[in-house]
Amino acid sequence: CCSRHYSWNYNECAGIDNAALGPDGEALYYPDWEGENKSCKNDGGQPEYMSNNPTAWMFETLEACCTARYSWNMNDCVGAAGATTVTGSNKWYPNWEDFVCVQDCVGDSPCGGLAESWDPLYDTVNTCCDTKLNWVTECVTKSGGTSTGATAAAATTSGKWYVDYDTDTCKQDCVGSAPCGGAAESWEVLYDTVSACCQGKLWWVESCGPYAG
């Protein structure tokens, strides 16, 4: 009867007192929507409607609760509860808000938090700065690294040209001031001249560069 007609309030209907306990006697986890709304808790402070229907609202493990209720913010959810130590790769990725490179790790600077799946990762701060923020003066130093002048990226550049769709221009595969655009990625199509690059990739942009006649 309770299952059929009072599923939303099953435990009270059935007279179950330990609604917030799992099969092993441990407190169940619930989404902390009425608190900081960042993670799941198992402190027994869940709203009454969750206690009354734990099957719908509560979970035996932190990971299960975070997956179901905070999948969009999984790392923060699991980390905020302190149950799991979340670590990154310690590689470097660009922070486009501050125009520096930060490390894929949790903690004090130069850690910038865990990288998103779409963030490009680099083995060194120098390579990150040279490839993604080459126009930023003292990028390596501002990012917490030590400037060493020429970097490994500089030794592997070709001097050819590739398209930068962010600015609708063609940039040179080199490290330094403009027209250098940093080391080209492995998937970039390279051209011997800026004209060939503009004709091949940005033919509709008149300001791209001189067209080959």
Radius of gyration of the chain (CA): 27
3-class SS of residue 51: helix
What are the E-state strand segments in 125-197? 161-164, 169-172
- In whole angstroms, give the CA distance from residue 80 to residue 148: 37
What is the spatial distance between Cα 101 and Cα 141, in angstroms, rounded to a whole number?
10
Query: Percent of the chain at pLDDT above 90?
Result: 17
Number of H helices, E strands in the chain: 10, 6
- Whether omega for the bond prior to residue 110 falls within 30 degrees of 0, making it cis, is yes
pLDDT at 68 exceeding the cut of 70: yes
Two structure tokens written together for 99: 């125009």
Whether residue 102 has pLDDT greater than 90: yes
Q: Higher-confidence residue: 17 or 173?
A: 173
Residue 127, pLDDT > 60, answer yes
107 dihedral zone (left: phi>0; alpha: psi -120 to 50; beta): left
The pLDDT confidence band at residue 11, using thresholds 50, 70 and 90, is: low
pLDDT in tens, 39-61: 888 888 888 888 888 888 899 88
| Beta bridge partners of residue 105, listed in sequence order | 113
In the predicted model, what is the mean pLDDT of residues 12-28?
61
| Cβ-contact 179, 171 below 8 angstroms | yes
Q: Name the average pLDDT for the chain.
A: 78
Give the pLDDT of residue 52.
82
How large is the average pLDDT for residues 12-35?
69
**Where residue 73 falls among pLDDT bands split at 50, 70, 90?**
confident
Please state which of the ranges 55-59, 115-119, 124-128 shows the lowest mean pLDDT.
115-119
Residue 203 has pLDDT above 70, yes or no: yes
pLDDT category of residue 191 using cuts at 50, 70 and 90: very high
